[in-house]
């Protein structure tokens, strides 16, 4: 199931970047505006709708209600929206507005110019935050304990990241297919139909596997024994979640990751388009990038179980921000001092631009492999000790809203830098300083959450010990007097009566 979800996500992630970055009249500068003014509002709207549906639908009905519209949209995009893009995109209007407003508004106007591509971009982003984080991990959290999660969550990722390798090869295959088509043939239309057909097929496979697990696999009852809470409305749910320090710290981790990776990733993608301007080259590189990410993550996940067993949740949660900090500093340093390193790079037949592309790719590969193998399992383990109501609504608020909020926060920072300093290149020193502050805040929240998580785990273990003691420890009633004791030895019926009496008075005797 996770394999299919990640396979789709990799194809969608690579395709969405190619669509919006390489489209005519667009560039990488569209991404900060797109994440802020389109992705975030849609994510908030979905979270509100999901919270409402969670109160009225069963978990099974909720799963199908959420995933089927995604499958339908991606199928419709490949076979309907993209072939009609030349007719439904307001190119002339966008050109007029750009002439009036100036080139600084290229990013916002590109959202209008290629609105169907932007809608695809947002739906692909939501697939990651909704289907992966909310649907799959929510289902996994319902059927596993913390101890099981420590053993099996990293193993879930092993199979899932094989999907990254295969999906990367799939994107690479379609890139080569486009390159080999004759002139006058819309290669992207053919490729999208093929890739979206695969996405739809995998989507229905996910639905079937979810049905099969619920139908034939016996599920533990632990999560259903949590203390039930009354149903809450949307605003009550939000107030409840904001009031929880545990949820706030968990949200800080997600937002900090989103801001940090966005600060580096958008700058890298601008360099990537400069190095590979054609869709074929760009998509081919992204296919190789996804394959390398899958291999690196697979390797990290082999080590993650050792890290959890040897060093615990707290250390595992701090590794991702540390990796992102070190690799991010290296990437920004290369951009800032690329000209000074030019002669040395020339000896390796590399330009500063190409070196920045490769170092940025390594930064993304290492950061994302740490995220998939350590950060995501840590985040999901943190939900398990919570009660059912906090778990369901907390995941919806954090994974659906905080994830794009982090990306939008990074996007807002970049928008401010672009308007203030004229370009992302001029903003690089300031972005590096902001990255430093965000990562330190992230590490501080991880320390705080580690303390709370440990306390909840101790409480849960204590409750289990008390339950086992109540079931397993025999309790003998006190004899009322010697005659009663003697008669009990002589009359078996009196033993039954006494045993029944002692069983009734067990709480008092304990």
Q: In CATH, what number does 2-223+246-469 get?
A: 1.20.1250
Alpha helices in 217-278 (DSSP H): 234-242, 245-275
Whether pLDDT at 298 is above 90: no
How do residues 35-55 score in pLDDT, each as one tens digit? 888 888 888 888 888 888 888
- pTM listed for this prediction: 0.68
As a three-state string, the secondary structure of 316-383 is HHHHHHHHHHHHHHHHHHHHHCHHHHHHHHHCCCCCHHHHHHHHHHHHHHHHHHHHHHHHHHHHHHHH
- What's the pLDDT score for residue 133? 79
- What's the pLDDT score for residue 503? 38
Domain residue limits, the chain: 2-223+246-469
- What's the pLDDT score for residue 485? 42
Query: 132-137, long-range: CB within 8 Å, 24+ apart, which pairs?
Result: 132/5, 132/6, 132/9, 133/395, 133/399, 133/400, 133/403, 134/50, 134/66, 134/395, 134/396, 134/399, 134/400, 135/63, 135/66, 135/67, 136/1, 136/2, 136/5, 137/376, 137/380, 137/383, 137/395, 137/399
Residue 61: band (very low, low, confident or very high) from pLDDT cuts 50, 70, 90 = very high
Whether pLDDT at 491 is above 60: no
- What's the pLDDT score for residue 172? 82
């Amino acid at each position: 199931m996770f394999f299919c979800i990640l396979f789709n996500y990799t194809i969608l992630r690579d395709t969405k970047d190619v669509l919006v970055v390489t489209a005519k009249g667009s560039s990488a500068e569209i991404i900060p505006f797109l994440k802020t003014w389109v992705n975030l509002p849609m994510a908030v709207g979905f979270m509100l709708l999901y919270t409402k549906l969670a109160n009225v639908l069963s978990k099974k009905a909720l799963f199908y209600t959420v995933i089927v519209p995604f499958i339908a949209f991606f199928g419709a995009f490949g076979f309907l929206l993209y072939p009609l893009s030349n007719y439904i995109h307001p190119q002339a209007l966008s050109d007029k507005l750009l002439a009036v407003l100036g080139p600084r508004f290229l990013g916002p106007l590109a959202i209008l110019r290629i609105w169907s591509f932007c809608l695809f971009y947002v739906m692909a982003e939501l697939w990651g935050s909704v289907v992966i984080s909310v649907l799959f991990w929510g289902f996994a959290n319902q059927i596993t304990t913390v101890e099981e999660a420590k053993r099996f969550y990293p193993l879930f990722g092993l199979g899932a990241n094989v999907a990254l390798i295969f999906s990367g090869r799939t994107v690479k295959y379609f890139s080569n297919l486009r390159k080999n088509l004759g002139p006058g043939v819309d290669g992207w239309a053919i490729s999208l139909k093929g890739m979206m057909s695969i996405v739809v097929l995998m989507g229905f496979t996910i639905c079937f596997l979810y049905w099969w697990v619920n139908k034939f696999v016996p599920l533990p009852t632990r999560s259903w024994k949590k203390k039930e809470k009354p149903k809450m409305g949307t605003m009550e749910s939000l107030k409840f979640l904001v009031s929880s320090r545990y949820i706030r710290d968990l949200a800080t981790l997600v937002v900090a990751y989103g801001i940090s990776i966005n600060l580096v990733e958008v700058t890298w993608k601008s360099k990537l388009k400069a190095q590979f301007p054609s869709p074929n080259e760009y998509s081919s590189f992204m296919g190789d990038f996804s394959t390398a990410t899958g291999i690196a993550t697979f390797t990290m996940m082999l080590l993650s179980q050792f890290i959890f067993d040897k060093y615990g949740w707290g250390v595992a949660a701090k590794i991702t921000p540390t990796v992102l900090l070190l690799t991010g500093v290296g990437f920004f340093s290369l951009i800032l001092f690329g000209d000074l390193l030019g002669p040395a790079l020339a000896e390796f037949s590399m330009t500063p631009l190409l070196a920045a592309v490769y170092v940025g790719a390594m930064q993304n590969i290492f950061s994302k492999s740490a995220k998939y193998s350590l950060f995501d399992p840590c985040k999901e383990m943190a939900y398990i000790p919570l009660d059912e109501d906090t778990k369901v609504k907390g995941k919806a608020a954090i994974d659906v809203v905080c994830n794009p909020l982090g990306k939008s926060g990074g996007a807002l920072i970049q928008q401010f830098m672009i308007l203030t300093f004229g370009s992302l290149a001029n903003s690089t020193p300031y972005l590096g300083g902001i990255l430093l502050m965000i990562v330190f805040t992230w590490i501080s929240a991880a320390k705080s959450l580690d303390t709370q998580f440990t306390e909840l785990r101790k409480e849960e273990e204590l409750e289990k010990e008390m339950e086992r003691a109540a079931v397993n420890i025999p309790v003998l009633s006190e004899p009322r007097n010697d005659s009663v004791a003697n008669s009990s030895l002589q009359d078996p019926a009196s033993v039954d009566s006494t045993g029944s009496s002692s069983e009734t008075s067990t709480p008092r005797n304990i």
